[in-house]
Amino acid sequence: MDAELIAMQLFSGVALGAIMIMVALGLSIIFGMLGVVNFAHGALFMVGAYAGLWIASLTGSFWWGLLIAPLAVGALGMLIERVLIRPLYKRSVDDPLLLTFGLGYVLVEAVRILFGSDGIPFPTPPQLAGVADLGIGFFPIYRLFVVGVVALTLLLLWLGLEKTKFGLIVRAGAKDPQIMRVLGVDIATVWLLVFGLGVALTALGGVLAAPMRNVNPEMGSLVLAEAFVVTVIGGMGSLVGAVVAGLLVGVAISMTALFAPEMATIVMFALMALVLLVRPQGLFGKPTRA
């Protein structure tokens, strides 16, 4: 077990965490602002991958798929918020959770009807095919690209939240929606946009993941479980938490893969259970209100 291999393993853990971060961020933003636990998030990840594939096949270019699919699926997200979720805000927190659970079923089956139950190949874009020598070992260029895109997205998101008026409203709204309403902010529109943003992020994750994993209607279910783990460890609603926990889970999985590979999935849930028992609100979460 040499140092190079361990360094390589650490790096692949970070790269693995990158995709989890994309999905978990959307989940966390939606929960933090709207108080909605979106159980359809994994299905929307899958829809993102299919949308990317569909657009890529229409235009003949991966890049259009990467650009347009998140926007299109984000728009679908806004439609979902407007039609299905908005009527539930006055009710218990469980209702949107249950509704999106059913929505997940519908989306998966709709994709099966439209595109068939088998997977569809999604080749790596040729500009990004091949492996790069990192000095410590070889790594697929495409995966390096994914890490780059995620980092860029995080930067833009951070700038958007810290430096724009919309970001200010979002941050304030997450703390206290009541005050925002009193101040005359149209909170309904903010929530609509935030839901759309969260969904667009997971759809972007889906398009990015597609060339690594191919696309199939069930690809979202495992991703959903991972995203829950990451969000809960990081603290539901905390964006910093989602990023830190994503990296933590990625590295935990890659290190387990080195020493006890068959435990690589179980370690994720064990970590989550552990964090919850020691710190129920997650690493960066706000303590729960009674």
Partner 1 sequence: MTSQGTYSITRRSALAGLAAGSAALAMPALVRAQGESIRIGFPTPLTGPFAAEAKDQVKSAELAVKLVNDKGGIAGRKVELLVRDDKLNAGEAATRTLELIEKDKVHAVVGALSSAVQLAVNEVTRARGVIYVSISQSDTINEVKDFSRFTFHEALNPHMTTAAVAKHTFKPGSKIAYLVADYAYGHEMLRGFKRAQAAIGATSVGEILHPFGAADYSTFMPQLRAMRPDILCICNFGRDQANAIKQAVDFGMNRQSKIVVPVLLHNQRLAVGPEAFEGVVGGANYYWGLEDTIPSAKAFNDAFKAANGGAYPTDYGAYGFTGVSSLLLAMAAAGGPDTDKVVAALEKLQYDVAKGPQHYRACDHQSVQSVLVLESKKKAEMKNEADLFKILAIEPAAESILRTCSELGFPA
Partner 2 sequence: MTASTSSIASVMAGPAGHRGWRARLAAWRVPLSILALCLLPWLLPSNALAVNVLVYGLLAVGYNLLFGYTGLLSFGHAAFFGAGAYVTGIAIGRFGVPWFAALLLGVAAGAALAFVIGLLSIRTRGIYFSMVTLALSQLVYYTALQASSWTGGENGLRGFTVAKLDILGWSIDFLDPIKKYYVLMVFAAAALWLVSRILNSPFGAVIEAIRENETRARACGYDVERTKLIAFTLSGLICALAGTLFALHLAIVPLDILHYQTSGMIVMMTLLGGAGSFFGPFVGALAFLLMEDVVSLWTSHWQIVVGTVFILFVLFLPKGIWGTLIAWRADR
Residues in contact with partner 1 by the rule CB under 8 A: 5, 8-9, 12-13, 15-16, 53-54, 56-57, 60-62, 65, 112-126, 130-131, 137-140, 142-143, 212-214, 216, 218-219, 222-223, 253-254, 257-258, 261-266
| Token couple for 186 | 């149209």
Q: Which of 5, 57, 61, 109 binds partner 2 (CB under 8 A)?
A: 109
* Beta-bridge mates of residue 131: 140
Question: Alpha-carbon distance 180 to 201, whole Å?
Answer: 25
Answer yes or no whether residue 283 interacts with partner 2 by CB under 8 A. no
**Dihedral angle at the C-alpha atoms of 56, 49, 200, 243, nearest 10 degrees?**
-120
Q: How far is the CB of 102 from partner 2 (least distance, A)?
A: 4
Q: Which of 288, 117, 129 is nearest to 215 (CA)?
A: 117
Question: Alpha-carbon distance 63 to 191, whole Å?
Answer: 29
Q: How far is the CB of 3 from partner 2 (least distance, A)?
A: 30
C-alpha torsion sign, points 235, 240, 244, 246: positive
Q: How far is the CB of 65 from partner 1 (least distance, A)?
A: 7
> Mapping DSSP to helix (H, G, I), strand (E, B) and coil, where does residue 105 land?
helix
**What are the Cα distances from residue 47, in Å, to 76, 111, 137, 207?**
10, 7, 34, 9
Instruction: Look at residue 12 and give the partner it binds from partner 1, partner 2, none, a contact being a CB closer than 5 to 8 Å depending on partner kind.
Output: partner 1
Answer yes or no whether residue 232 interacts with partner 2 by CB under 8 A. yes
Q: How far is the CB of 215 from partner 2 (least distance, A)?
A: 18
Answer yes or no whether residue 214 interacts with partner 2 by CB under 8 A. no
Q: Which is nearer to partner 1, 188 or 263 (CB)?
A: 263
Instruction: Look at residue 92 and give the partner it binds from partner 2, partner 1, none, a contact being a CB closer than 5 to 8 Å depending on partner kind.
Output: partner 2
Neighbours of 106 (CB within 10 A): 11
**What are the Cα distances from residue 80, in Å, to 40, 58, 107, 194, 224?**
10, 25, 11, 12, 18
Instruction: Look at residue 257 and give the partner it binds from partner 1, partner 2, none, a contact being a CB closer than 5 to 8 Å depending on partner kind.
Output: partner 1
Answer yes or no whether residue 103 interacts with partner 2 by CB under 8 A. yes
Q: Which of 93, 132, 159, 179 binds partner 2 (CB under 8 A)?
A: 93
| Token couple for 268 | 């994720």
Question: Alpha-carbon distance 146 to 279, whole Å?
Answer: 32
Binding site for partner 2 (CB under 8 A): 31, 37, 84, 87-88, 91-95, 97-99, 101-106, 108-110, 112-113, 225, 228-229, 232, 236, 262, 265-266, 269-270, 272-273, 276-277, 280-281, 288, 290
